[in-house]
Amino acid sequence: MKNKTIFKTSARLLSGSLILATTFLSCTDLEIEGTDSIIIDASEAGFQGVSDPDSFLDNAYNSLNGLIGDQANLYALSEVTTDEAVVPTRGSDWGDNGIWRQLHQHEWTAEHGFLLNVWNQWNTLHFQGAQVLSEKTNSTPQQQADAYFLRALGMWVILDNFGQVPVRDPDAPIFEDPTVLKGQEAVDQIVSDLNLAISNLPTIGPGSGVGDVSSPNARPGVAAAKYLLAKVLLNKHIYTGTEPNSADMNQVISLVDDISSEGYGLESGYFNIFRRQLDRETIWFIPTAVGNRIWNGLHYNMAPDQAGGGWNGFSTLSEFYDMFEGDPNSNRGTATGEPLDGQEERRGYVPPSGLPAGSFDGSMDNNGDGFADGSSVGFGFLINQQYDYDGSAMKDRGGNPLTFKRQFTDGSGNSSLINNSETTGIRTIKYNPRFGAFTEHEIFFRYADAHLMKAEAMMRSGGDPSAMVNELRILRKAQPLGSVTASDLLEERGRELYMEFWRRNDMIRFGEYTRDWELKSPSAVGDQTRNLFPIPANQLILNPNLTQNPGY
């Protein structure tokens, strides 16, 4: 099947493959002035192949650092549009012309900046894969496997979010309108690419030591491709508008079993999984800084010896927090992490103080106060009073107690996403500053997700997922369930995978994405058109083969 780029350009363009990538990043027709470079006729240019596939693939993989590490764009679409994350406006902070509020309220439009960014970024990624796969590129089987994987990943992200994927053959005339794949045809292309990737990607197995850019798990191996294939097949009925079928579900089960046979598995010590050290859970991580995941929810005064304190934005709804075991009004723990309010491990804890410098591996004391940097910041869900290193109660910038509250209210006490104080909203944190404020290790594919995908596939093909779900719950120090319904399974995925990119995808698959939740616009409740985002407005003009999604 031929693959097409996304954008048309004007009659004049620069020579070589570099300009082909440039046209992807353009939002409008590109007109290059004669003083910019050597100008040649478009008919004489054409794609000449990728001259250095290794470097080209390095650049494509490196682009994922920004695509995955960012707190906006795909991460915001995946999390802030759900019951899992909300970004209220506090004074003038996080206002941004309503761009965050619109996501949580389901009031986005085709002009929303994050939508255009996701469209551009992930379409660019799958076209980069297509360039390496061109017959004009002299690529090795390993390079082709990487290209198949990247093309499949980029196409899947676009399909999952927009429902249609524009593709262009790199060898096609530059003015030829990109074709558009939807439904079964798009799924077939992605599945085919992943199967071809699996045939030549290396078998890596779980890593050990420090997970940085030199670690094998920083690039996808066979297990990562099988994980993504399982993810596509589990969601296939959503993309094709059909019912789940047993053949697909059986293949999901088989793929997860294959991943397990490579040595991947569940790990105890939930929050240790999100340290820089590799473990059996991490199938594929991105060597990008995790600072966005640490600081975007912490208050300005928290851990000021690192990164200047928090950014005081991201929070979660109390209804999501209440899915976890424990006292709904308190989430305390000892300084070393023993729970004090009956909470399960994944809900985390708020410590009463910091820890002495040197009390755990990797601790630092950059300001010489005797405390490990960042160790007064808790894990999981932060609610109520927060404490400084010495155990004193922290205060906000106005001198009031720094107490994170369950509700989002304005100055008049009304439920609202605007005019919030500095302390509204429960905060979430998995990557902790005590292990480094900006360590380069963000997990993208994790075995616990695969484990729950297998449980779900069993359920959707008539089996009982209870044993698998309870295996995970017991490991996470939660009470086992007597039986597991579809609703239980969605909640379990939320408890295990919160803030890891998957909540929107999960809620759509379980039919919960359009339900009501706190601070969602009443007009959006029950609106099934919100299950897809609109095609960015300018792309409809550039490519007549695209059609706007219903509701926009």
32, pLDDT greater than 80:
no
Q: Say which CATH number the domain at 125 has.
A: 1.25.40
- The helix (run of H) or strand (run of E) holding residue 282 is strand 282-289
Question: What confidence tens digit (pLDDT) does each residue in 339-371 have?
Answer: 999 999 999 999 999 999 999 888 898 889 999
DSSP strand pairing (440-446 vs 384-385): unpaired
Q: Residue 534 has what DSSP assignment?
A: P
Integer Cα distance of 244 and 306 in angstroms: 48
pLDDT interval class at 462 (50, 70, 90): very high
Both 485 and 370 in one domain: the answer is no
Query: How many CB atoms are closer than 10 A to CB 173?
Result: 10
Both 351 and 220 in one domain: the answer is no
**Domain span at residue 145?**
12-59+108-200
Can you tell me whether residue 392 is helix, strand or coil? coil
Both 150 and 17 in one domain: the answer is yes
Between CA 69 and CA 76, with CA 74 as vertex, the angle to 5 degrees is: 90
What DSSP assignment string belongs to 396-464?
-TTSSB-EEBSS-B-TTS-B-SSSB-TTBSBEEESS-GGG-TT-EEEEEEEHHHHHHHHHHHHHHTT--
Evaluate whether residue 179 is within a structural domain: yes
Question: What confidence tens digit (pLDDT) does each residue in 365-395 have?
Answer: 888 999 999 999 999 999 999 999 999 999 9
Both 491 and 396 in one domain: the answer is no
Tokens of 237: 């009925």
What is the pLDDT at residue 45?
A: 61
Evaluate whether residue 114 is within a structural domain: yes
Both 319 and 455 in one domain: the answer is no
Query: How many CB atoms are closer than 10 A to CB 265?
Result: 15
Both 296 and 434 in one domain: the answer is yes
Both 350 and 454 in one domain: the answer is no
What is the pLDDT at residue 295?
A: 95
pLDDT interval class at 308 (50, 70, 90): confident
What is the pLDDT at residue 307?
A: 66
> Taking the alpha carbons of 404, 410, 416, 420 in that order, is the dihedral positive or negative?
negative
Integer Cα distance of 339 and 345 in angstroms: 8
Is-contact 421 410, C-beta < 8 A?
A: no
Both 350 and 387 in one domain: the answer is yes
Instruction: Tell me which of 18-32, 175-189, 236-250, 420-434 is least confident.
Output: 18-32
Both 25 and 55 in one domain: the answer is yes
Evaluate whether residue 385 is within a structural domain: yes
Q: Model's pTM, two decimal places? A: 0.91
- Residues contacting 130, CB < 8 A, separation 6+: 3, 147, 151, 167, 168, 169, 170
Evaluate whether residue 302 is within a structural domain: yes
Evaluate whether residue 267 is within a structural domain: yes
Tokens of 495: 């408890």
104, pLDDT greater than 60:
yes
Can you tell me whether residue 309 is helix, strand or coil? coil
- The helix (run of H) or strand (run of E) holding residue 127 is helix 113-133
> Taking the alpha carbons of 226, 231, 233, 234 in that order, is the dihedral positive or negative?
positive
Both 268 and 308 in one domain: the answer is no
- Residues contacting 429, CB < 8 A, separation 6+: 293, 294, 297, 298, 348, 377, 378, 379, 380, 382
Phi-psi region of 110 (alpha: psi -120 to 50; beta: other; left: phi over 0): alpha
Tokens of 302: 């928290």
Averaged over 70-81, what is the pLDDT?
A: 98
Is-contact 69 442, C-beta < 8 A?
A: yes
208, pLDDT greater than 90:
no
Mean pLDDT, all residues of the chain? 91
What is the pLDDT at residue 13?
A: 25
What is the pLDDT at residue 25?
A: 36
Evaluate whether residue 1 is within a structural domain: no
509, pLDDT greater than 60:
yes
Averaged over 111-126, what is the pLDDT?
A: 97
